[in-house]
Amino acid sequence: MTVPAIFFLESVKPLSFVGSQALHFFEPMVNAFFQMRDYERFAILMERRENLEVLLVKIEARDDAARQEERAVRERERAERAARKRGKDSS
């Protein structure tokens, strides 16, 4: 889901300020139906494009870390299979 998230955030970056103003506009209606503590904070964060860029960088960093972890797990499993195969071949 990293690629769709990055694609979406990159495409709405130019409209982030307008979107944040819409969030402020709809806040009374949203609060009438839902109790959301972080709604105003999110609206304030979306006012600045730099915050979207920070979010994109964090998403990409987590994705890179997850890929490295998956690669390490695959390498470990491959090494274990090779060790078992060598053990069977020497028996």
Distance CA(19)–CA(44), nearest Å, equals 10
C-alpha distances out from residue 6 to 3, 12, 20, 28, Å: 5, 10, 18, 29
Query: Which segments in the chain show pLDDT lower than 70?
Result: 90-91
Domain that holds residue 55: 2-90
pLDDT at 91: 60
Buried b (16+ CB within 10 A) or exposed e, 31-69: eeeeeeeebeeebebbbeeeebeeeeeeeeeeeeeeeee
Q: Which two tokens stand for residue 13?
A: 């970056």
User: Number of structural domains, the chain?
Assistant: 1
